[in-house]
Amino acid sequence: MGSLLTSPWIIGTSVTVIGGLILYFVFGVGREKNTRKITQSERTGEKFDRGGELSSELTPEKIIDEIRKVPVFQRETLAESYKNIKIENWNTTLQSARKISNDRLHLMLLDRGNYPWVYADVEEKEYPKLKIMKEGEKVIISGTIQKVEGNTVELKDTKLKL
């Protein structure tokens, strides 16, 4: 029995097994990690409406990412499927506002201060504060997706919280 404990292959195997157990249990090497990202909607409670049922998973970033995952030929069809989905409480930042008619403004916003773009047209008289807001100020936006194209989500029937 004594010669068995001094055998190089027994010692080598034991050290390897003990080292592997330490790596697994102490350092987590080889274990499956929870890499699931917490979505914006889970942080903010924002919602969207697919035919009357509200959910809390859709963000501008998620829309663009999902479209980029499919083959290029299928992107236009997938982008079209987002049309007429109602969204609520997207956190955006104001980047630009310009007059497009006597009483309407075109807004260019960024999703939480980063790309993708969110475009919306609003009545100037409903949001007079827009005239004095600075670039980068927070805007909570709700509305209906009118179009998704490239790196942009366009909304209609827009409501703002300034």
Per-residue pLDDT tens digits for 77-109: 999 999 999 999 999 999 999 999 989 999 999
Quick one: 47 and 29 in the same domain? no
Q: Would the pTM count as exceeding 0.75?
A: no
Q: What are phi and psi of 86, to 5 degrees?
A: -85, 135
Kindly give the pairing relationship between strand 152-161 and strand 114-123. parallel
Q: Please name every residue paired with 96 in a beta bridge, in sequence order, or none if there are none.
A: 108
Residue 41, pLDDT score: 43
Quick one: 152 and 87 in the same domain? yes
Quick one: 48 and 102 in the same domain? yes
Q: Which domain holds residue 60?
A: 40-161
Total domain count, the chain: 2
Tell me how far apart the alpha carbons of residues 151 and 65 are, in angstroms, rounded to a whole number.
9
| Secondary element (H or E) of residue 63 | helix 60-69
Quick one: 10 and 55 in the same domain? no
Quick one: 7 and 31 in the same domain? yes
The CA-CA-CA angle for residues 109, 111, 115, to 5°, reads 90
Instruction: Tell how many helices (H) and how many strands (E) occur in the chain.
Output: 5, 7
